[in-house]
A and B are shown apart, each in its own frame.
Chain A
Amino acid sequence: MQIIQYLINGISIGAVYAIIALGYTMVYGIAKMLNFAHGDVIMVGAYISFCVTNYLGAPAWVALIAAMAVCTVLGIVIEGLAYKPLRGTPSLAVLITAIGVSYFLQNAAQLIWSSSPKSFTSIVTMKPISLLDGQLVITGEVLVTVAVSALVMVGLTLFTGKTRTGKAMRAVSEDRDAAQLMGINVNRTISTTFAIGSALAAVAGVLLCSTVPTLQPTTGSMPGIRAFTAAVLGGIGSIPGAMLGGILIGIIETFAKAYISTQLSDAVVFSVLIIILLVKPAGLLGKQVQEKV
């Protein structure tokens, strides 16, 4: 029974990673950049939600919407100020700028909210469900997290598949120049992608802090790196891949903590990543692109 409990916990944390990984994967697919500031947008989202519930006493859904709104704006501003001027330059230049943005967000958060950890009250008020005489406990957070991430996944798939903007996003990620020639506004499409990714980051931040209730300026960095690993594991640029990668990383991490060693879980997760990339160099669901000469 214990093993099923671990599996449930793993899927729950994995669902959070999956939402973060979706943000990474969409931005990478379209702008071809590793957005290392993504993890810190999560942290900002969590802080906004924290402030709205604790200082304004607003209900949870208001906090969530406020966090999403702030992060969306933040994502668009970051993209416009820091990444847009560097479009078309070597990816390393954009990478370093993203790192600069990440430092900036972390330190700004430290100035505003101080570095001492805040205890985040979960936004989920649902009672835990006990199954099999209490041997198996499914908390409200687990249910909400899994439901939300499934919703996000379905929503995004429909969005990229059916809507005009979504199709434009796919076209830009396929071939930017050709998309531009077909009359797609590339800059606006990239901005939209950042907006969506950042809104998802806010959701992930609130869910993450509902599950792991300590909030400090560095909260986002480690889940950010793990989710990034998840995106790569599933095949960066692929939406179902990010979902699969996130859940897998969550399960592996929980099992490693339970059966191998709590301290060594990071080493296990990253070793799995290396091994999988050896077998499938483009990730589990990634496309293997043949280089043209």
Chain B
Amino acid sequence: MKKILNNKNTRTNLITYLVVIVAFVIMQTLYSLDMLSNSMKGYLVPICAYVSLAVSLNLLVGVCGELSLGHAGFMGIGAFSGVVIAALLKDVIASDVLRLLCAMVFGGLLAGALGFLIGIPVLRLRGDYLAIVTLAFGEIVKNLVGNLYVGIDSDGFHMAISTSRMELLEGGTYLIAGPKGATGVEKLASFPMGFVLVLLTLFVVLNLINSKEGRAIKAVRDNRIAAESVGINVTAFRMKAFVVSAFLAGMAGALFGMNYSSFTASKFNFNTSINILVFVVLGGMGNILGSVISATALYVLPEAMRGLEDFRMLLYAVVLILVMLFTWSPKVKEKTEVVSEWVKGLFYKLTGKKEVGVNE
């Protein structure tokens, strides 16, 4: 046991799981004691979805070193396909939890499959070009899904890209109605299910990072040419990370979608992709626990500032810029070091302890 705890990776992983589990237990207890406000209850599922999205994007951006600006596209695919599957399985599977699970798995698989397809061309590109193509992919998905019509009637399942080609028999319903988005969605999502998704995401991503594949992926990130020359199949490993990340984003999207009775494709636009990227960068690239915490905090922050109304997003923007300046700027770093040295000195003076390591 001691040996396991001495391994730094294992220790950080255990801490990550522990934080998530403790947070879940606390929130669930408060929930069952009915001590949460209604708005707080509404945040729980989206937070779980965004945590999974941030962690899965971190696999791509932080661990793999590929800047992706189209994560919301995968999320959207998961959300819309999940809704359709949940509606189709309504008469087949009675249990809500099982149906949600099917929807999430299907959403994830579809997103993963599309991730594979788009990965073939995308992964030939590097750096900023890869970012542009993922951006383009996200916009294409938003645009196509925003014009997709899916409906069921007594005849069966219908799908078309415009209203004129789609006629439902009497009693049929639209599941996805073009620009109006998915309507009449059953709210199957629940907080425990979100927790399970977060755990699954953490399990998959953490295991991948600390496996042979993960080390290869990190090698590719740090120096692609060197990695290639020691015999690592760069494209295969990048593809693996890309597909896993898309799969998890699809699952999170399905959960997210089924938390609302209706949603439109514009919910999964460029801004959403960017928001998830902000979670990852502020949480620390490659730092999984950081992603979990920053996704939670940054999702709640603008919501909690609703009282400020119009100033809310302005303040968010300022906070974002300041945080980036404080964490990255070399000049600010120097200054904060001076301040922290000064505080340390003061602390030692006050406690009467001799300063260690500085004077000696």
Give the interface size class of chain A: 35 or more
A277 at the interface (CB under 8 A from B): yes
Note all chain A residues with C-beta closer than 8 A to B143.
263-264, 266-267, 270
B152 at the interface (CB under 8 A from A): no
Q: CB-defined interface of B118-151 with A at 8 Å, one 1/0 digit per residue?
A: 0001101100110111011101101110110000
Distance A271 CA – B146 CA, assembled complex (angstroms): 16
B75, chain A: closest CB distance, angstroms? 18
B278 at the interface (CB under 8 A from A): yes
Contact of B328 among A93, A267, A277 (CB under 8 A): A93
Q: Known contacts being A104-B317, A104-B321, is A88 close to B140, with CB within 8 Å?
A: no
A116 at the interface (CB under 8 A from B): no
Q: Is the CB of A103 within 8 A of B313?
A: yes
A263 nearest CB neighbor, chain B only = B147
B20 at the interface (CB under 8 A from A): no
Q: Is the CB of B225 within 8 A of A291?
A: yes
Give the interface size class of chain B: 35 or more
Q: Is the CB of A111 within 8 A of B311?
A: yes
Identify which of A5-13, A186-194, A228-236 touches chain B: A228-236
B336 at the interface (CB under 8 A from A): no
Distance A34 CA – B67 CA, assembled complex (angstroms): 12
B162 at the interface (CB under 8 A from A): yes
B316 at the interface (CB under 8 A from A): yes
Distance A110 CA – B311 CA, assembled complex (angstroms): 10
A99 at the interface (CB under 8 A from B): yes
Contact of B124 among A236, A281, A291 (CB under 8 A): A281
Distance A104 CA – B330 CA, assembled complex (angstroms): 23
B226 nearest CB neighbor, chain A only = A293
A274 at the interface (CB under 8 A from B): yes
Note all chain A residues with C-beta closer than 8 A to B132.
228-229, 232, 273, 277
Q: Is the CB of B137 within 8 A of A274?
A: yes
B22 at the interface (CB under 8 A from A): no
Q: Is the CB of A107 within 8 A of B320?
A: no
Note all chain B residues with C-beta closer than 8 A to A99.
274, 278, 320
Q: CB-defined interface of A81-98 with B at 8 Å, one 1/0 digit per residue?
A: 010011011111101110
Interface members, chain A 201-241 (any B CB < 8 Å): 221, 225, 228-229, 232, 236
Distance A281 CA – B129 CA, assembled complex (angstroms): 8
Distance A104 CA – B331 CA, assembled complex (angstroms): 23
Interface members, chain B 301-318 (any A CB < 8 Å): 310-311, 313-314, 316-318
> A-side interface residues toward B, CB under 8 Å?
28, 34, 82, 85-86, 88-93, 95-97, 99-101, 103-104, 106-108, 110-111, 221, 225, 228-229, 232, 236, 261, 263-264, 266-267, 270-271, 273-274, 277-278, 281-282, 291, 293
Q: Other CB < 8 Å A-B pairs besides A104-B321, A264-B147, 5 of them?
A: A92-B281, A99-B278, A107-B313, A228-B132, A273-B136
